[in-house]
């Protein structure tokens, strides 16, 4: 079966990728990565690259699970798509050549577009007889800017998607010293069970904070690969993997 190219959540034209009819279970592993300038100015770029690539290699490319097909889609807040609906072995690695965190932070606008893409992709595949699971991980270090969108633009899509127990929307936040991520994730529809807050601006050992960011990114993105695609336990199992290690959580401004 031929899949699609997407732009702003819409299904546009075929890409030529063909899915086998068996196994009939498909996992959509989606990652939305903040490419704002604060990532680079806070020296977090390489940690995010390492975390992303670690999960891709360890949890997806090297997976021996034959019970499902995996399609990976990765986008940046402002920089377009790194890959769309590709098999893990064909997914490009994140590098300093394709990841340029020098932009603004359209958190809500980008999240809305990604979740629309996921919803459309799932509907497309389900209409063709596949059982579809998804894990969408949003990685960010700051709130929405410019302020053209609000969490209310994201939450209805996230809530509707997660009414089906086969879909999860997760968030990973690197604490920037001011953004109330708990409140923002709540208002976006990201469950407390599927988010991780990392102490990126907390006083202390810089190398330890870097390790936390790298491990947190890898752990949450890889949760989809390490969870069994069973609709009765999918949300619970991915939640368990998100919660492993509290790492070096930052103080929240509630």
- Label each residue of the chain as H, E or C: CEEEEEECCEEEEEEEEECCCCCCEEEEEEEEECCEHHHHHCCCHHHHHHHHHHHHHHHHHCCCCCCCEEEEEEEECCCEEEEEEECHHHCCCCCCCCCCCCECECHHHHHHHHHHHHHHHHHHHHCCCCEEEEEEEEEECCCCECCCCCHHHCHHHHHHHHCCCCEEEEEEEECCCCCCHHHHHHHHCCCHHHEEEECCCCCCCHHHHHHHHHHHHHHHHCHHHHCCCCCCCHHHHHHHHHHCCCCCCCCCCC
For residue 226, the surrounding DSSP H or E stretch is helix 223-226
Tens digits of pLDDT across the chain (254 residues): 555 555 544 544 445 667 888 889 999 999 999 998 888 888 888 888 998 999 999 899 998 888 999 999 999 998 689 998 899 999 999 999 999 988 888 889 899 999 999 999 999 899 889 999 999 999 988 665 556 668 889 999 999 999 999 999 999 888 767 778 888 899 999 998 998 887 654 455 666 767 787 888 888 889 999 898 998 899 999 998 888 654 444 444 33
Q: Which pLDDT does position 87 carry in this prediction?
A: 92
Cα(178)–Cα(187) distance, rounded to whole angstroms?
17
Query: CB under 8 Å to 207, separation ≥6 — which residues?
Result: none
Q: Which CATH number is 23-243 given?
A: 3.40.50.410
Please state the domain extents for the chain: 23-243
Any idea what the Cα angle at residue 195 is, between residues 193 and 197, rounded to 5°? 130
How far apart CA 94 and CA 215 sit, in angstroms, is 15
Instruction: Please give the C-alpha separations between residue 59 and each of 45, 55, 130, 196, 243, in angstroms, as whole numbers.
Output: 21, 5, 22, 19, 17
What is residue 2's predicted lDDT score, i.e. its pLDDT?
A: 52
Instruction: Tokens 């330890």: give the residue.
Output: 208
pLDDT of residue 221: 86
């Amino acid at each position: 079966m031929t899949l699609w190219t997407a732009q702003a959540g819409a299904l546009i034209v075929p890409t030529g990728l063909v899915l086998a009819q068996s196994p009939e279970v498909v996992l959509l592993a989606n990652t939305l990565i903040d490419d704002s300038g604060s990532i680079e100015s806070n020296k977090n770029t390489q940690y995010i690259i390492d975390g992303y690539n670690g999960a891709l290699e360890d949890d997806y490319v090297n997976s021996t699970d034959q019970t499902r097909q995996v399609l990976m889609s990765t986008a940046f807040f402002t920089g377009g798509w790194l890959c769309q609906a590709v098999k893990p072995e064909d997914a490009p690695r994140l590098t300093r050549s394709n990841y340029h965190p020098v932009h603004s932070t359209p958190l809500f606008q980008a999240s809305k577009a990604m979740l629309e893409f996921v919803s459309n992709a799932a509907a497309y595949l389900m209409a063709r007889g596949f059982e579809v699971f998804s894990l969408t991980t949003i990685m960010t270090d700051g709130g929405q800017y410019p302020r053209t969108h609000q969490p209310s633009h994201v939450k209805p899509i996230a809530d509707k998607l997660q009414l089906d127990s086969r879909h999860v929307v997760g968030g990973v936040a690197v604490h920037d010293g001011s953004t109330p991520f708990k409140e923002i994730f709540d208002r976006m529809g990201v469950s407390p069970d599927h988010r991780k807050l990392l102490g990126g601006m907390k006083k202390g050992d810089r190398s330890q904070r870097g390790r936390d960011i790298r491990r947190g990114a890898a752990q949450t993105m890889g949760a989809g690969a390490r969870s069994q695609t069973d609709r009765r336990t999918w949300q619970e199992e991915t939640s368990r993997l998100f919660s492993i290690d509290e790492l070096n959580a930052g103080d929240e401004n509630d």
